[in-house]
Amino acid sequence: MALRFFNTLTQQLEEFAPLGPPVVRMYTCGPTVYHYVHIGNFRSFTFQDILRRWLRCRGYQLQHIMNITDVEDKIIRNAMAKNQSIGEYTAQYEKAFLEDSALLRLERPERFVRATEHIAEMIAAIEALAANGHTYQSEGSTYFRIASFPTYGRLSRLHIEGMQAGARVDVDEYEKDDARDFVLWKGRREGEPYWDSPFGEGRPGWHIECSAMANKYLGETLDIHTGGIDLTFPHHENEIAQAECVNHKQFVRYWLHAEHLIVEGQKMSKSLGNFYTLRDVLDRGYSPEAIRYRLAAVPYRNKLNFTFADLEAAETAIERLRNFDLRLRTGKFSEGKCPEVSARIQKARLDFEGHMDEDLNTAAALGVIFEYVRETNAAMDSGQFCGGNVEEAHGLLGLFDALFDVLKPTAKEGGLSDAEVEALVAERQQARSARDFKRSDEIRDQLAAQGVILEDTRDGMRWKRK
Ligand code: AMP
Ligand code: ZN
């Protein structure tokens, strides 16, 4: 079955084919580093991580760019209040974002790009827009004239006829009913950082950074552009206007937007004050894997309701999968290969792939995995499952984990590595054989203190992390 995505631009599920296979050129709007990123933001970033991973499972290579917005209204306001330069102010939050992303096992895009390092590219793009007649100046700032781009509003289904020509907006974020000419370059204001440009001293608006950097690194036409659904308007609408009025080519072929993470019916956001950072949730004792699992488990176009009960359920689900993995690795099975078991694994694999191909339906794909684990456990209990089935069974679990990436527990800070645990377990076995129970108990306690549990099974000793 073909890989299909829901394209916001056409409002249709479309078969995916990149312009230059096997490479997929993709851009993601990254964080504005004015605060710790909250887990609502991470919902969007986890979606793009799953997207990356599935594209690779389907044989594509990624050329993926994510920007870091490090100059913007809120950043300037906060940095000024703290008497810091914007560079000093944003560095701590950029670092925290990268650390949190690593904890959530989000793959790094091929390149991160900072807005402040691409001012020259933005100026060049604004100059090209000016040369093509799409801009005007007013009170020291430069604006994009939306009436000069007849298809403005297509992505967000906005009709601009009847809109007041020449009405302008200076802020970076605004609502649909406030669609106006938007700012490309903001004239210098007292105390704010600024750069020189042919249109006077000042700084770029938010929107120009993404189209300028996307075009620089990915060319005139991108295969995929992702972001949270709230970015559709005005940010992505403005990106399209800017890029297409410079290049006269389609900017993006597939627009993919993640729905919001919500808390008690409302979008989690910094401005509403109803947000948790990753650190807040970890401090309550949840594992990064459970958070990742929960963020990935709801298909990206559905709203994700955030509750701690669901995180508990995620911990339990992961535990079941880890136990299954352990049983596959350490169980003793009879020789041979059972064809019925093989056929069931094959079928589960095809179903899993089919659900992921259908616009990344992670919930249905997980449903297949849990049914498969249940059936396979039953086949092991009854003795139907044989040694010859282990490899294919592991193969499917491996495919699951190549995407969801939750099987390996996060090592506790200062904790034991797998190799160190193995060495202690082996030493304990020796101590027991030598009837040195004192040493054997010591090791058991030492491991328990590190959250490692030993289990005596009929197939021998095995260990797992709590
Ligand atoms: P920002 O740092 O505000 O520019 O947002 C970074 C990314 O997170 C953008 O793609 C936003 O659309 C996305 N985002 C913000 N709030 C939420 C939320 N509650 N749920 C999902 N994504 C969000
Ligand atoms: Zn952007």
User: Which three-class secondary structure string do you get for 404-430?
Assistant: HCCCCCCCCCCCCCHHHHHHHHHHHHH
HEC sequence for 140-173: CEEEECHHHCCCCCCCCCCCCCCCCCCCEECCCC
Regarding the beta carbon of 373 and ligand 1, being less than 6 Å apart is answered no
Task: Kindly list the distances between the CA atom of residue 90 and the CA atoms of 86, 179, 266, 350, in Å, as whole numbers in the listed order.
Answer: 6, 29, 28, 45
At 272 the pLDDT is 85
- CB under 8 Å to 230, separation ≥6 — which residues? 260, 267
What is the rounded CA–CA span in Å between residue 3 and residue 6? 11
Regarding the beta carbon of 79 and ligand 1, being less than 6 Å apart is answered no
pLDDT in tens, 380-392: 999 999 999 999 9
Is the distance from CB of 278 to CB of 39 less than 8 angstroms? yes
pLDDT in tens, 392-450: 999 999 999 999 999 999 987 777 778 788 888 888 988 888 888 888 888 888 888 78
Regarding the beta carbon of 267 and ligand 1, being less than 6 Å apart is answered yes
Query: Which chain residues have CB less than 5 Å from ligand 2, an ion?
Result: 29, 210
C-alpha of residue 375 to centroid of ligand 2, in Å: 45
Chain-centroid distance, C-alpha 227? 9
What is the rounded CA–CA span in Å between residue 391 and residue 342? 10
Q: What is the pTM of this model?
A: 0.90
Angle between helices 339-357 and 362-382 (to 10 degrees): 170
C-alpha of residue 263 to centroid of ligand 1, in Å: 14
Of the ligands numbered here, which is closest to the C-alpha atom of 73?
1
Digit-by-digit pLDDT tens for the chain (466 residues) are 699 999 999 999 999 999 999 999 999 999 999 999 999 999 999 999 999 999 999 999 999 999 999 999 899 999 999 999 999 999 999 999 999 999 999 999 999 999 999 999 999 999 999 999 999 999 999 999 999 999 999 999 987 765 666 778 888 877 766 778 999 999 999 989 999 999 999 999 999 999 999 999 999 999 999 999 999 999 999 999 999 999 999 999 999 999 999 988 888 988 888 899 999 999 999 999 999 999 999 999 999 999 999 999 999 999 999 999 999 999 999 999 999 999 999 999 999 999 999 999 999 999 999 999 999 999 999 999 999 999 999 999 999 999 999 999 998 777 777 878 888 888 898 888 888 888 888 888 888 878 888 887 777 788 888 7
Q: Atom 14 (ligand 1): residue with closest C-alpha?
A: 41
Of the ligands numbered here, which is closest to the C-alpha atom of 225?
2
Is the distance from CB of 69 to CB of 206 less than 8 angstroms? yes
Q: Atom 9 (ligand 1): residue with closest C-alpha?
A: 228
Nearest atom in ligand 1 to 262's CA = 19
pLDDT in tens, 233-261: 999 999 999 999 999 999 999 999 999 99
Is the distance from CB of 325 to CB of 448 less than 8 angstroms? no
DSSP 8-class letter at 129: H
